[in-house]
Structure 1
Amino acid sequence: MKYRFVIILLSILILSSCEFSQKRYKPDWDKWKNYKWILNKNVRNNINSGFTLYKKNANFNLIRYNENNQLVIWEFKHHNYVSIDSINFFENIDLSNFILYPGQTFNKEDILETSVRINSDLDIDLHLNLNSDSKIYEYINKDKVKGIIGKVSQMSLSDETGYHQVLFDFPIRSYNVATLFFKRDDSFFILILFPDDGLVKDKLKDLNLPELNE
């Protein structure tokens, strides 16, 4: 009986480990090049570096261009069910109750740390939450693009119940950030633009997003 219990326990641990491994993001140093189209042609040749973390149907890319501008491009494939119109934005939200386990943190101790719960999935009704040290300056509400411009220390993505699935953290200092949501074909995109000089609104012209002008 004792050995049977041990075998069952080991089987559960092995299955959990396999599931965790399949859902983890893995590094790649070339996939980000498929996302250069998001930048206008006049800045594509000024990309300094880039990398990708990927899993099935999701690619998290971080690109640095013109020396001091950082851009996150997060694509979720086959996520057409996410509603742009249903995205809501909230300020002064307590994010200290974010539970990572089981999860994964990208770029730990870097400019932008991104913590993702392994079993997270984007809900149809998505919420972007800013903590009390962050502030929304401007809302972007186009037909096909929705987002904010603001000062961000921490922000999260949660479902309509307030359950946090992703935490974005600027551990060194707050940044002026543009966070944009849009859909293209059958994919859902999240863009996070954060230049070192803080002039984020001026940098929107670097993006190849005609939806911003519609």
Structure 2
Amino acid sequence: MINEQFWIPIKLSMQVACTSLLIVLLLGLVLAKVFAGKNFQGKVILETILMLPLVLPPTVIGFLLIIIFGNNSPIGAFIESILQQSVMFTATAAVIASAVVAFPLMYQSAKTGFQSVDIGIEEAARIDGASEWKVFLLVTIPLSVKAIVSGAILSFARGLGEFGATLMFAGNIPGKTQTVPTAIYVALESGNIDLAWLWVASMVIISFIMLLLTQIIK
């Protein structure tokens, strides 16, 4: 019988993935719109930086997050002064790690969708008196919805499966920061193969459904 020990990492992983998805969806849409519609000096360098988490080893991402948000950094110290605790080894750290690794997928999908929109349709809306934000919200996004949804699904799946950066930055605290990937690692190390298989099966099923959805909406 599946007990609470199985469900706790599942619930936490879903919460982390959903929260990080909201972050990357908002940032991804805004930044994709900015970079898809304008050419400016340094654009290639900035886009390369945004896409780096897609190719960097998770341990490198985890290390950089520790440097940026650690207790010895200005950002980390500022956050600690507000929250009265460090962001490291908390559920918030798990969300940040998931959002960082998932962001490039959302950004690239949204940008591709925006670039496929007929410029003439957007111009017609502007001629009719629509502001840039109205054009973006009522024209560009609806016409790019398939690409956006695909990016959101892939970002959710990527955030759900994040391991290396999460382990370094958020740790592996049962009931607090232990997500399914880290729980699988611990179960395997401790010889609890049956429980590890249950978590592996759950991740395979969820990932399969996510990929299947991206194929269906194409």
- Largest Rg, 1 or 2: 2
- In terms of fraction of residues, the more helix-rich structure is 2
Tell me the TM-score normalized by structure 2.
0.30
- In terms of fraction of residues, the more strand-rich structure is 1
